[in-house]
Amino acid sequence: MTFAGLRGDCGQCFGLCCVALPFAVSSDFAVDKAAGEPCRNLLADSRCSIHDRLPAAGFRGCTVFDCFGAGQRVSQETFGGRDWRSSPSASAMFRTFPVVRALHELLWYVTEALERADAADVHDELRTARKEIDAVASGTPDELAAVDVNALRDAVNALLLRVSEAVRAPEATPGATPDAGSRERNAAGSPSRTARQGAGASSRGKRRGAKVAVVPRSGKHADLRGVNWRGEDLVGASLRGADLRGANLRGACLITADLRDADLRRADLIGADLRDTDLCGADLTDALFLTVPQLAAARGDAATRLPRHLDAPAHWTP
> Per-residue pLDDT for the chain (318 aa), expressed as one digit of tens each?
789 899 999 999 999 999 999 999 999 999 999 999 999 999 999 999 999 999 999 999 999 999 999 999 999 999 999 999 998 899 999 999 999 999 999 999 999 999 999 999 999 999 999 999 999 999 999 999 999 999 999 999 999 999 999 999 998 764 444 443 344 444 444 433 333 333 233 333 444 455 556 666 556 779 999 999 999 999 999 999 999 999 999 999 999 999 999 999 999 999 999 999 999 999 999 999 999 999 999 999 999 999 999 999 988 988
For residue 34, the Cα-to-chain-centroid distance in whole angstroms is: 22
Residue 180: name the closest of 108, 251, 254, 265 by CA: 251
**CB-CB contact of 301 with 314 (8 Å):** no
**Is 35 domain-assigned?**
yes
Give the chain's domain count: 1
Residue 291 CA to residue 101 CA, distance in Å, equals: 13
**Is 200 domain-assigned?**
no
**Is 151 domain-assigned?**
yes
Residue 79 CA to residue 90 CA, distance in Å, equals: 9
Burial of 88 (0-12, 13-18, 19+ CB in 10 A): exposed
Domain that holds residue 97: 3-171
The pTM for the full model equals 0.87
**Is 305 domain-assigned?**
no
**Is 300 domain-assigned?**
no
Residue 312 CA to residue 299 CA, distance in Å, equals: 10
Q: Within 10 A of 164 (CB to CB), how many other CB atoms are there?
A: 25
**Is 8 domain-assigned?**
yes
Residue 185: name the closest of 112, 258, 249 by CA: 249
Question: Which residues on adjacent β-strands are paired with residue 42?
Answer: 48
Coil, strand or helix: which one is 301?
strand
